[in-house]
Chain A
Amino acid sequence: MHASVIVFPGSNCDRDVKVALAASIGHEPDMIWHGDTDLPKTDLIVVPGGFSYGDYLRSGAMAAHSPIMREVVSRANAGVPVLGICNGFQILTEAGLLDGVLMRNAKLKFICRDVFLRVERTDTLFTSHYTQGQVIRIPIAHHDGNFETDKETLKRLEGDGLVAFRYCDQGGDLTIESNPNGSIASIAGIYNEKRTVLGMMPHPERLVDMLQGGTDGKPMFDGLVEALAA
């Protein structure tokens, strides 16, 4: 299995994702510079976290129009799975691969801490190694993670089962306190219609080894490898 990690000026989680992928795949992914126009043969594309282009204009807006993103969009439309984490999620919404928008956190603060997420479905490439409704602990680190959509889009996301993760408390309940950034319907991550593209604000790559304090992110990468290595 081959994976590609896109690197923008200002990406800062690209190497974390590289380590996480390498641990699950058994060899390192290709690191692709944003100015490139072509992708190698790849079974998975990861758009990592960070502050691409210094978050100028809007988070993810400049990166979404980087030369490489034309190729990412075209591969995604051809069915190649894409995982966008944090800034990567923002970039995928700006590039039109995912619905909605990530706005400034409701309380205007940058938040960096672990949160609990509820896994909404497990019949996807990304979540097959979790169990339905499982509560996992994953770190967030963002200023613009307040997911918003209009009412019609939200209805479609909910109706079509496109919500991947929701912020919850330790017992899996959705409360005002357990929603760190004001996201609508406590949404922490969403899929595209075919569930081949996932965008999420939390960082699964930051908990894949006991040295990092936990491994709740590892099943995502192991699940992807199992699904895509065949």
Chain B
Amino acid sequence: MKTATRLTSSVLMVGTVVSAACFLIALGLVLVGRPQSVGTVDPPSIIGAVLEPRPWGWATLGVLTVIVTPALGLLATAVEFRGGRSAWVALLVVGILGVSVAVALIR
């Protein structure tokens, strides 16, 4: 039985477009001479740098989008396989990514 893939591929495509747009804006800001100062990685600092706008803010937004998208893709896969064993395997992989986040926060 062939499972639908549209939701997963849509999530991955949106993530690709959004992150590419963020990186392009960051590159454009560098080219027009906006300051390349770096901020701390916390939501207020990132939002501030995005609104200012500074290249670091947009590049960080792009990086976060890239990191989050595979997990969202796996959640979409779990929805597509709902009720089946593969859905639980997809959620298990999301759990492993969660472990990585937990380890990163603890360190």
Q: Do A and B bind each other?
A: no
List the interface of chain B (C-beta within 8 A of A): none
List the interface of chain A (C-beta within 8 A of B): none
